[in-house]
Structure 1
Amino acid sequence: MNGRRDPLTIIALVLLIVGGLNWLLYAFNFNLVQAIFGDVRTSILAQLVYILVGLAAIYMLYPLYEMLTASAERPISR
């Protein structure tokens, strides 16, 4: 991420954390998004949350690629 702290990256990371926590809870038969917004089949807000989490994951692919392909001479600043 090269030390970027732009708002879109921060929002994407927060959404990914929310999505990851929801998957953790789902493993214990509790869907947090469904509990808050209702069933995904009937709630537009629940669908929107899932869409935003998916878009955040796609958005974060480029910073991941940058991090993995960074040369040793150019360390990643934090």
Structure 2
Amino acid sequence: MKFINILTLILVIVGGLNWGLVGLFSFDLVAAIFGAGSGLARIVYILVGLSAAWQIIPLFSATGSGELAAGRNR
């Protein structure tokens, strides 16, 4: 499970950085690497989206266990 969490977190970070490039410079790195509208680019976008959905699980686990609230009290 830890491997999946790390992998999905990396993909979410990659997706976030790509959106930052799109917003700042109108440059889509995924499309530049794999080709705009290509099947590979679509797969990357799908994997990033699924990774974001997967990362909801650890988020709710952390909020349910009080881990986030404990971090604020330091």
TM-score by length of 1: 0.79
1:1-78, aligned counterparts within 5 Å? Answer: 6-27=2-23, 28-40=25-37, 43-71=38-66
CA distance in 2, matches of 1:14, 1:21: 11
CA distance in 2, matches of 1:15, 1:56: 6
Residue identity matched to 1:19: G
Matched pairs, number: 68
Deviation at 1:71, TM superposition (A): 3.1
Residue ranges of structure 2 left out of the alignment (5+ in a row) = none
Alpha-carbon RMSD across the aligned residues, in angstroms, is 1.8
CA distance in 1, matches of 2:49, 2:62: 20
TM-score by length of 2: 0.83
Q: Which runs of 4+ in 1 moved over 3 A?
A: none
Residue ranges of structure 1 left out of the alignment (5+ in a row) = none
Return the structure number with greater relative CO, CA threshold 8 A, min gap 6.
1
Q: Deviations over 1:16-49 (max 9, x none)?
A: 0100000000012100001000012xx1100000
Higher share in helix? 2
Deviation at 1:70, TM superposition (A): 1.4
CA distance in 2, matches of 1:30, 1:38: 12
